[in-house]
Amino acid sequence: MHTLLVVDDEPGILHAFGRVFREPAVRLFTADTIRQAVELFQTVRPEVVVLDVRLPDGSGLEGFRRINAIDPTTPVLFITGHGTTDTAIEAIKNGALDYLFKPLDLHKLREAVQTAFEVARSMRAQAHADAPPNTPQPETLIGRCDSMQEVYKVIGRLAPRNIPVLILGESGTGKELAARALWSHSPRVDRPFLAVNCASIPDALLESELFGHEKGAFTGADRLRIGKFEQCHGGTLFLDEIGEMPSAAQAKILRVIQEQRFERVGGEKTIQTDVRLIAATNRDEHQLLSGTGFRADLFYRLSVSTLTLPPLRQRGSDIALLAEHFLERFRWELDRKDAHAISPEALELLEAHDWPGNVRELQSVIKQALLHGAGPLLTPEALPERIRHAASTTAPSSSAPTAHDAIAALIREQLTARDGNLHAHVMGLVEARLLRQTLELTNGNQALAARRLGISRGTLRAKMREYEIEVSNRQWSGELTPDSPPASTGGVS
């Protein structure tokens, strides 16, 4: 979503901008004085500013100078009437991007602002490139694999909507980063984002942490405490590991979702709030609702909109991408500026590891490798022993069967057992196994499986019916054996 600030005291001009630039593509802010514009600019930090050359409390040029002093990289466009071009030209000389004439041509207006958005994007990219390497950068989700592309699409769909979201994923997969991405692409981005780890706060204190308490509510409550729901009014509250939340707090959370109202601990006054709730858990639905004390009604309220993060072991080439990202980030932080790359052998070991701790574990491994390694290249010797040991114990020996051996054995068996139509039968067995393996890898997500296979979803469904494949929670064997012959012996279509 782009952000645009328009400064003009004519309602007709503001109305025209409102017609051309609408949410969710553009978030429009308006001001009718220089003072109000500067205040909004400091709060919102819009990508582009449009200024009238004449405003009630001064000239647009003065407004431009004040905005330019705060951030000279923000593109500024001027709106000018006939006979007032001198001010606009003076602004161009001082660094403004362009100017438009009244009455506004809506087509030219759209083109000029879109150009300004592109300039703003380029300026941000250049500023990022020019930043010192050791300048702290906000953490973001990183990944290019199909499952992460799906995550980005879901974030894009859910971020603009003012609804609760439940993020599912193993520990270390980046659930808080996903929550921050939902916030940073939402209309609430200019309001607070607060995160609370429900597992790290004792049950007796969690309710007070979230909802606050009145003075004297319990022993030690010697003053009024404002909880996170009040602190976060208008913003976004992220509750990590919500499955660890005690039942009393769950009931109040459910009420906040439904009514946006609550009472402080020990208080009787009902407090109205406006908070978007994002929750996360490392348990799946069955684990969460099976004997953990988690309320089913709260789960169903939260799970209307879900976002599932894939474990690192299922992200393929993203492992190398993330490892190189962490190398670049931590080599400055740990004063290992000489370390420039990871050797192919070390990357091979990283990609062979199953990563039970996911991205958080990989981050730790790269830090350890930087501390224990030396020279410009991170080699296998710099990696923790558990990474090297796991790879050595799982590496196939020369006598271990390979995929080629399995295929050869399958063909030999079928040559012995069958006479005629052998090609169609073997190809059918292989195709059925390919579909099962792909569906297993994508956790039964047919749309994602179809993309991985390079076929349409309709074709995938037809082949699933042909081979009597049903998506279930059981783990399929990875062996290539004729244990589950397809219903049809037709060839590959």
List the structure tokens of 426: 């073997």
Q: Give, for 397, the enclosing helix (H) or strand (E).
A: none
Three-class DSSP category at 471: coil
Cα 21 to the center of its chain, rounded Å? 25
Rounded Cα–Cα distance for residues 447 and 110 (Å):
36
Which residue type occupies 271? I
% of the chain at pLDDT higher than 70: 83
Q: How many residues in the chain?
A: 493
Cα Dmax for the chain? 94
Which residue type occupies 314? Q
User: Which phi and psi angles does 402 have, rounded to 5°?
Assistant: -105, 175
Q: Are 227 and 209 in contact (CB under 8 A)?
A: yes
pTM over 0.85: no
List the structure tokens of 439: 């569906």
E strands along 247-334, which residues?
Answer: 261-263, 270-272, 276-281, 306-308
Mean per-residue pLDDT, 27-38: 90
Q: Among 330, 365, 377, which Cα is nearest to 133's?
A: 330
pLDDT category at 443 given cuts 50, 70, 90 is: confident
Up-side HSE of residue 290: CA atoms within 13 Å toward CB?
A: 5
Evaluate if residue 478 carries a pLDDT over 50. Answer: no
List the structure tokens of 102: 């009244």
Rounded Cα–Cα distance for residues 357 and 312 (Å):
9
pLDDT digit string, tens, across residues 163-198: 999 999 999 999 999 999 999 899 999 899 999 998
Q: Are 346 and 380 in contact (CB under 8 A)?
A: yes
Evaluate if residue 31 carries a pLDDT over 50. Answer: yes
**How far, CA to CA in Å, does 5 sit from each of 49, 65, 75, 235?**
5, 16, 11, 21
CB 377: neighbour CB atoms within 10 A?
Answer: 16
Q: Which residue has the tokens 């429900």?
A: 198
Residues 6+ apart with CB under 8 A from 254: 295, 297, 298, 301
CB 42: neighbour CB atoms within 10 A?
Answer: 11
Mean per-residue pLDDT, 48-75: 87
CB 475: neighbour CB atoms within 10 A?
Answer: 7
pLDDT category at 68 given cuts 50, 70, 90 is: confident
pLDDT digit string, tens, across residues 271-315: 998 999 999 999 888 888 876 678 889 999 988 899 999 999 999
% of the chain at pLDDT higher than 90: 26
Q: Give, for 57, the enclosing helix (H) or strand (E).
A: none
**How far, CA to CA in Å, does 102 sit from each of 85, 218, 284?**
11, 65, 58
| pLDDT given at position 398 | 45
Mean per-residue pLDDT, 15-36: 86
Rounded Cα–Cα distance for residues 276 and 161 (Å):
10
Up-side HSE of residue 319: CA atoms within 13 Å toward CB?
A: 23
pLDDT category at 405 given cuts 50, 70, 90 is: low
CB 61: neighbour CB atoms within 10 A?
Answer: 19
Three-class DSSP category at 439: helix
Outline where 142-185 has alpha helix (H).
Answer: 146-158, 175-184
Cα 85 to the center of its chain, rounded Å? 45
Q: Give, for 185, the enclosing helix (H) or strand (E).
A: none
